Amino acid sequence: MITIRRGTKKRIEEILRDYPKMAKHIDDRMQELTVPYHSIDQNVGGGKSSKISRPQETISITIDEDRRLRAMESEKKAIEATVLESDADTITMITEVYFKEHPEFTIDGLIINHKINCSRNPAYQKKADFFVRLAKRLNMYDPY
């Protein structure tokens, strides 16, 4: 059995809780990059700048090179791929515990209310396996 460090586990939980809002974060970041804020220059007068302006080229380079945008997109794709290869109980656990803004159940609550069809140990093992697979997709390697 592969173990994950506590810090890595907390980071994965944080990413999973942020997943439902990730599409909005990506759209907001794209908006920031495509429509940059330009402060109004109060300095009146002066000569014309000799700089040749190419805003479309600047925007495309910025979008392609933006690390924050790439990180959010890769996290979103990694979560989607890991969820797609998971079984129904694991999907239910992750959806109920991490994707909801106000979760109604813990994993134990899901077991007691028969939302998932396994006992406590297999449920936590499925969650741990999900975290290991997601950590590998996110390139979060633990040294042990």
pLDDT in tens, 60-109: 657 777 888 899 999 999 999 999 999 999 999 999 999 999 999 999 99
Say which range, 47-61, 98-112, 130-144, has the weakest mean pLDDT.
47-61
- The pLDDT of residue 41 is 60
Does the residue 113 lie in any domain?
yes
Percent of the chain with pLDDT over 90: 63
Tokens of 16: 């999973």
Does the residue 1 lie in any domain?
no
Average pLDDT, whole number, for the chain? 86
- φ/ψ of 87, rounded to 5, equals -85, 175
Does the residue 128 lie in any domain?
yes
pLDDT band per the 50, 70, 90 thresholds, residue 58: low
Find the domain containing 123 and state its range. 6-34+56-137
Does the residue 143 lie in any domain?
no
Maximum C-alpha span of the chain? 75
Residue 31: pLDDT above 60? Answer: yes
Structural domains of the chain, count: 1
Residue 24: pLDDT above 80? Answer: yes
Query: Any alpha helices (H) in the chain, and if so which ranges?
Result: 6-18, 22-34, 55-65, 67-84, 88-94, 107-112, 120-137
pLDDT band per the 50, 70, 90 thresholds, residue 46: low
Would you say the C-alpha torsion 43, 48, 52, 57 has a positive or negative sign? positive
Does the residue 126 lie in any domain?
yes
b (16+ CB within 10 A) / e for 23-34: eeebeebeeebe
Look at the block and give the residue holding tokens 């999973």: 16
Return the SS3 of 93. Answer: helix
- The pLDDT of residue 34 is 80
Contact (Cβ atoms closer than 8 angstroms) between residue 85 and residue 141: no
Does the residue 121 lie in any domain?
yes
- The pLDDT of residue 139 is 92
Does the residue 43 lie in any domain?
no
In this structure, the number of other CB atoms found within 10 A of the CB of residue 135 comes to 21
Distance CA 19, CA 72 (A): 9
Burial class (CB in 10 A: 0-12, 13-18, 19+), 22: middle
